[in-house]
Amino acid sequence: MAELQAFIFDLDGVITDTAEYHFLAWKQLGEELGIKIDREFNERLKGVSRLESLNRILALNNRETNFSLEEKEFLATKKNEHYKELIQQVTPNDLLPGIHSLLANIKSNHYKIGLASASKNAPAVIEKLQIGNFFDTIVDAATVKRSKPDPEVFLKAAEQMNVTAEACIGIEDAEAGIESIKAAGMFAVAVGTNEALRKKADMTVERTNQLKLNELIKSFQMYNDRLAKLK
Ligand code: BG6
Ligand code: MG
């Protein structure tokens, strides 16, 4: 039976809430292009790569084929420059509730901790939050070829920590992220209230302060006991 060895966290929406900064940066670019986006639409950009997010925004005005890849990269870079300015304000106070004590608790119980983020800005955000010392590995979009829902980012984090996928718990707030964890063959924990997310995950909590180490371990063990009986 699989023995728990590591936790792999998503960044945006699980460790800190950078979604608002992504939203503000896309909104500004949208205004320059004459495309309006609101917070509701922004939900559809969570966990989605930078270029795919731009495509979804352009698709709002049926303009995704109006730009060459080079032009799209220019626009995405422009958004990113603004995003980078916005995340300068991030401090350790921006850790979501309960996350610091959860990371400390995991560490003192000798489990490994990895980060699997779709954001190329992940290392900068981790530095701003001053939590780099908790992580055994950080895998971000800059070091993988395929975006979530592909399992690559979670599998790479497990590989770099020298643990098997079955020995990991992945924690995510986006549907694409939960799909990525499940495709990697890991136990998936969702944070959020979205019904679709709940259906795809093995365990769900509504808020980060409900992520408790003993509950996560218990749930992981029950899941594996059920799997063992099925075999
Ligand atoms: C994800 C966010 O973590 O990273 C997305 O949820 C974002 O909203 C994606 O588009 C890519 O981030 P970045 O920083 O590389 O543009
Ligand atoms: Mg996320």
| Closest ligand 1 atom to Cα of 76 | 16
36 falls within a domain: yes
Question: What confidence score (pLDDT) does residue 2 get?
Answer: 84
User: Cα 5 to chain center, whole Å?
Assistant: 20
Burial label for 171, CB within 10 Å (0-12, 13-18, 19+), is buried
Are 138 and 70 members of one domain?
Answer: no
Position 1 in a domain: no
Question: Which structural domain range is residue 75 located in?
Answer: 19-89
**Mutation pick for ligand 1 pocket among 21, 22, 27, 121 (CB with most ligand atoms within 8 Å):** 22
Q: Is the dihedral of CA 84, 180, 113, 187 positive or negative?
A: positive
Beta bridge partners of residue 168, listed in sequence order: 6
Structure-derived torsion over alpha carbons of residues 176, 177, 179, 183, reported in degrees to the nearest 10: 130
* Atom 12 (ligand 1) nearest CA: 119
160 CB near ligand 1 (under 6 Å): no
For residue 231, the model assigns a pLDDT of 80
- CB 216: neighbour CB atoms within 10 A? 22
Contact between 164 and 158 (Cβ < 8 Å):
yes
Q: How confident is the model over 200-222, as pLDDT tens digits?
A: 999 999 999 999 999 999 999 99
Residue nearest to atom 8 of ligand 1 (CA): 46
Distance CA 44, CA 53 (A): 8
Check pocket membership of 117 for ligand 1, CB cut-off 6 A: yes
Are 144 and 105 contained in the same domain?
Answer: yes
Per the prediction, the chain carries an average pLDDT of 96
Alpha-carbon dihedral sign for residues 145, 147, 151, 157: positive
Domain-terminating residue out of 89, 120, 141: 89
| Amino acid code (one letter) for 167 | A
197 in the same domain as 104: yes
Tell me the mean pLDDT per 10 residues along the chain, length 231. 93 94 97 95 91 96 95 98 97 98 98 97 98 97 93 98 98 95 98 94 98 98 93 80
Residue 209 is assigned to a structural domain of this protein: yes
In the structure encoding, which two tokens stand for residue 88, read together? 């300068």
- pTM listed for this prediction: 0.95
Claim to verify: residue 209 and residue 182 sit in the same structural domain: yes
Which CATH number does the domain housing residue 223 bear?
A: 3.40.50.1000
Residue ranges of the binding site for substrate? 10-12, 26, 45-50, 53, 79, 117-121, 148
Query: Total domain count for the chain?
Result: 2
Is residue 97 domain-shared with residue 84, that is, in the same domain? no
Predicted confidence (pLDDT) per residue in 82-117, tens digit:
999 999 999 999 999 999 999 999 999 999 999 999
Q: Give first-to-last CA distance, the chain, whole Å.
A: 11
Instruction: Give the ligand with the smallest distance to the CA of 22.
Output: 1
Contact call for residues 73 and 81 (beta carbons, < 8 A): no
